[in-house]
């Protein structure tokens, strides 16, 4: 699906109405083909919600544990990219990694993806934004002592912010 998306993007820009429509159709096809029916329905329902940022639980096939997403927010786009399209799966290391530093953990999405993919891996996750950090705490809690989540960010001078 991603190769088709890239090919189309080569001919028309990402903001062209035809591309936007085709992208939505491809996303739905990707969702249906890679996730359970319940996950597909839950995900589509969350896309139609606006103004309700109360996190809701959803199960993605590539994750060991359920993941919480805020409906009607960027969380849905991030989940589509990381759990359905598995964009980070295109750059997997050649061997089992043992440590991963997630320098902008957001809601814990990439950390959860790699923790599920590599059962021996430990993650140091950094997230400075309050709302995202609180959700990352919930999403990464099931991985136990394999995660060191910190409310800070990387900075130029090396000092925690």
Task: Kindly give the pairing relationship between strand 67-69 and strand 56-58.
Answer: antiparallel
Strands 99-102 and 147-150: unpaired
Query: Does residue 14 form part of some domain?
Result: no
Q: pLDDT of 23-33, one tens digit each?
A: 788 888 889 99
Residue 42: band (very low, low, confident or very high) from pLDDT cuts 50, 70, 90:
very high
Residue 45: inside a domain, yes or no? Answer: yes
Whether the per-residue pLDDT at 122 is higher than 80: the answer is yes
Query: What is the pLDDT at residue 146?
Result: 98
Say which residue, 39 or 24, is predicted with more confidence. Answer: 39
Residue 155 lies in a domain: no
At 156, is the pLDDT very low, low, confident or very high (cuts 50, 70, 90)? confident
DSSP 73: S
Task: Say if 16 falls within a structural domain.
Answer: no
> Among positive and negative, which fits the CA dihedral 131, 133, 136, 137?
negative
φ/ψ (deg, to 5) at 126: -115, 125
Confirm whether 15 is domain-assigned: no
156 belongs to a structural domain: no
Does 22 map to a domain?
no
Higher per-residue confidence, 60 vs 49: 60
Residue 143 belongs to some domain of the structure: yes
How many domains, the chain?
A: 1
pLDDT tens digits along 73-113: 899 999 999 999 998 888 888 889 999 999 999 999 999 99
CATH of the domain at 136: 3.40.50.150
What is the C-alpha to C-alpha distance for residues 140 and 138, in angstroms, rounded to an integer? Answer: 6
3-state secondary structure 125-153: EECCCHHHHHHHHHHHHHHHHHEEEECCC
List the domain range (segments joined by +) for residue 51.
Answer: 35-150
């Amino acid at each position: 699906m991603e190769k088709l998306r890239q090919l189309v993007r080569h001919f028309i820009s990402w903001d062209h109405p035809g591309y936007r429509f085709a992208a939505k159709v491809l996303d739905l096809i990707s969702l249906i083909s890679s996730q359970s029916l319940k996950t597909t329905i839950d995900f589509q329902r969350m896309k139609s919600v606006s103004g309700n940022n109360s996190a809701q639980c959803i199960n993605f096939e590539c994750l060991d544990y359920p993941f919480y997403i805020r409906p009607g927010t960027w969380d849905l786009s991030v989940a589509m990219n990381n759990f359905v399209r598995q964009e980070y799966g295109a750059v997997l290391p050649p061997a089992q990694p043992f440590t991963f530093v997630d320098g902008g953990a957001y809601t814990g999405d990439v950390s959860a993806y790699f923790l599920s993919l590599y059962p021996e891996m430990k993650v140091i996750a950094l997230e400075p934004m309050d709302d995202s950090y609180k959700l990352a705490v919930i999403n990464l809690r099931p991985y136990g002592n394999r995660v060191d989540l910190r409310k800070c960010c990387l900075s130029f001078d090396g000092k925690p912010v």
